Amino acid sequence: MVSAQDASTPLRAALAVLACAGILLGLAWVRSAHAQTELLAIYRTSDPVALSQAIPRVDALTSRRFAFYPDTSGRLTKAIVLFGLHHPTEANQILKEVTAEQPENAQAWALMDLLDRLSGDPGWVPARKQLLKVDPLFFEVP
């Protein structure tokens, strides 16, 4: 005969595991939120010296420690910073990686379209077509 206490032991263990998983996901989210705030401040910087000094920090903020929790906005910000520092090839490479990993990411396609047009790269036509395929209403004003 199994006592009530013996039967509740696996349930307690399962609840403890779920609680730990929730805490870890919460920490990943908080880390991401702090990184987003810092990346936004870097994104709003127009000083080339400050941007060039920010590259190591952007790299640290966009490191992919949590593969199960993909966060591409940091890499998109890094692409913008690199483009602002006149490194369009590196910026475009990041955008190609993001769009390959997440072909439904309209923001990445929009940035690729914009950066390609600003740099004079004829690749903007396919980027614009893909953007409109992913999100036909992207350019609509609400």
Residues in the chain: 142
CATH topology of domain 4-134: 1.25.40
Q: Which residues, in sequence order, are CB contacts of 10 under 8 Å at separation 6+?
A: none
State pLDDT tens for residues 88-140. Answer: 889 989 999 999 989 999 999 999 988 888 888 776 778 888 998 998 888 77
Q: What percent of the chain has pLDDT over 90?
A: 12
Average pLDDT score over the chain: 79
Which whole number is the average pLDDT over 63-92?
Answer: 75
Asked if 94 contacts 82 with a C-beta cutoff of 8 angstroms, the reply is yes
Q: Which pLDDT belongs to residue 100?
A: 92
Q: What is the pTM of this model?
A: 0.62
Give the other-Cβ count within 10 Å of 107's Cβ: 16
Q: Is the pLDDT of residue 8 over 80?
A: no
Does residue 37 surpass a pLDDT of 60?
yes
Pick 6 or 84 by higher pLDDT.
84
Q: Give me the pLDDT at residue 83, please.
A: 86
Both tokens of 77, joined, read 């910000």
- With b for 16 or more beta-carbon neighbours within 10 A and e for fewer, the 5-30 pattern comes to eeeeeeeeeeeeeeeeeeeeeeeeee
Q: What would the DSSP string read from start to end of 39-63?
A: HHHHHT---HHHHHHHHHHHHHHT-
Measure the CA–CA gap between 116 and 136, rounded to whole angstroms: 20
What are the φ and ψ backbone dihedral angles of 87, each rounded to 5 degrees?
-120, 65
